[in-house]
Amino acid sequence: MEGKMMEEATALGITLLTVSHRPSLWKYHSTILQLDGQGGYVLYVAFLPRQGIHAF
């Protein structure tokens, strides 16, 4: 259900912002912002299988 919703939103051109601890959602995003809980952060390029990009 969750995957279907994410795919539909992406197909419609909807910009998604997901707050989650679940790596299974990463595939629906092009960028991942990881907060460290101490005011710091890391910004990653997400895994994009269609483009062969993987920054992790």
Asked if residue 16 belongs to a domain, the reply is yes
Q: How confident is the model at residue 48 (pLDDT cuts 50, 70, 90)?
A: low
Q: Are 47 and 27 in contact (CB under 8 A)?
A: yes
Residue 31 is part of which domain span?
A: 2-45
What's the token pair of residue 42? 């890391």
In a domain, 17, yes or no: yes
Does 50 fall in a domain? no
pLDDT tops 60 at residue 51: no
Residue 20 counted as domain residue = yes
All residues at 6 or more sequence positions from 34 whose CB lies less than 8 Å from its CB, including other chains: 41, 42, 43, 44
Number of domains in the chain: 1
Residue 15 forms part of a structural domain: yes
Q: Which two tokens stand for residue 6?
A: 């994410």
Inform me whether the pLDDT recorded for 47 exceeds 90. no
pLDDT of 50 reads 54
The per-residue pLDDT for range 9-41, each reduced to its tens digit, is 989 999 888 888 787 887 788 888 889 999 999
